[in-house]
Amino acid sequence: METRINPMANEVGSKWAKHIISSNKVITDSALPKAVQELVKIRASQINGCGGCLDMHTKDAAAAGESAVRINLVGAWRETTVYTEAERAALELTDQGTRLADSSGVTDEAWANAAKHFDEDQLMALVALICTINAFNRLNVITRTPGGEYQPGQFG
């Protein structure tokens, strides 16, 4: 697969990416559990077929101590027993928030279930994370940024 354009080598692309990356710090510094953050990034990236993001976030999750079983089963999270109820609620919100064109949006039931497990600040961080990872997925899929070369911690 050949990359169409390197966003980080382009003036507009690198400026845009810096803003998105800096906005992500609000999420990483939030009280939203780190395991939930990685699971959400992996799940959205699976749905969107983003090899670059899957490469990064599966490796980062493993480097942070996440088990191979939990990383490998994210795509079938509904049919597993390895995730907490809070993680399952976050994954459902991720599925619905990522597949907007496939339905009428996020259901009240999915929102209420997430609200049972996360406080308002955590919920907002979760929503922001779903938005952010979807933006990165789209950037990488459109530009054909391949997966496979990422090293954990490579980008700071």
Rounded Cα distance between 141 and 84, Å, is 30
Domain spans, the chain: 32-143
φ/ψ bin of 73: left (φ > 0), alpha (ψ from -120 to 50), beta (otherwise): alpha
φ/ψ bin of 147: left (φ > 0), alpha (ψ from -120 to 50), beta (otherwise): beta
Rounded Cα distance between 34 and 127, Å, is 15
Please report the pLDDT score of residue 156 as a whole number: 64
For residue 5, the SS3 value is: coil
* Residues of the chain above pLDDT 70, percent: 99
* Residues of the chain above pLDDT 90, percent: 80
| pLDDT (tens digit per residue) in 8-56 | 899 999 999 899 989 999 999 999 999 999 999 999 999 999 999 999 9
CATH topology of domain 32-143: AhpD-like (1.20.1290)
